[in-house]
A and B are shown apart, each in its own frame.
Chain A
Amino acid sequence: MPVSEFFLEVSSTPENLAVIRNKIRAYTKSFKVSVTVVDDIELAVDEAATNVLEHAYSNQAQGLIQIRAWKEAEALTIVVRDFGRGYKPQPVTYKDIRRILEGYARKGMGRFIMKECMDSVRYKSIPRKHNETLMVKKLKRDR
């Protein structure tokens, strides 16, 4: 059973990314975990929400972003949901990141960061319904 739940719904404006970051940061900090874990979760959620703005809503502000999170068995699950256009994310490898760093490509950095920050990241698109990025992070408490 989830012990503590988080829910946030905002419109898809770039300015709301700061709102999302601040809220998820405060929620994560409540579990007394390390600063690195808090930073990682904030960064991953921010990247997922940025992808929603870019891919699902093509940088238009009329869409909705829902973020749901809950802690269960020392792991935090976060779902970033949108109601826009779905897409097929391609796997991003270290080789892809090297190409981005060398200036030969620009796409994929956000997804790579999400994967590095979280223990698992999955994207699911249900046409004409919604799209979801589901992320899990194991929580290690500060000692």
Chain B
Amino acid sequence: MSNFKFNVRAGEVSGCLICEVIGTLDITTAMEFEITTHKTIKQGNERLIFDFSQLDYINSQGLGALLSLHKVLDSGGGGLVIVSVAERCQRIFDITGLDKAISVYKDIAEALRKDPLFKVR
């Protein structure tokens, strides 16, 4: 059984979904994460907030999945942001400079307040 859970709930802004990613994002779970998120996108959700507060571990496989999803959403006029990155996962973000490609915020409130993706259209 994989150490991975993906909880989705409607966000505070219309059309925005908050996705809690729980557990580990590595070779055992990255594909499941990508497929689950693709299903969410196909249902018409084009603005996603990934809450990483309960993500214990992420490696290059998890980052690869995130970048792939970012590209899909970006090309369709939507996007994704990441919030509440746990300290243990912050290191890989710093090493790779992931925040140059995907916006990372302290928490959901900051993302909704600051990111152009969530401005009411």
Measured CB to CB, the residues of A under 8 A from B are: 14-15, 17-18, 21, 36, 39-40, 43, 46-47, 50, 53-54, 97-98, 100-103, 106, 109-110, 112-113, 116-117
Contacts and interface: CB of A to CB of B under 8 A. Distances in A.
A113 B96 contact: yes
Interface of B is mostly: helix
A15 B59 contact: no
A26 to B, nearest CB: 15
Contacts, number: 66
Interface of B: 3, 24, 26-28, 57, 59-61, 63-64, 67-68, 70-71, 88, 91-92, 95-98, 100-101
Contact of B96 (A21, A40, A50, A112): A112
Nearest to B3: A18
Contacts of A101: 67, 96-98, 100-101
A36 B91 contact: yes
B23 to A, nearest CB: 10
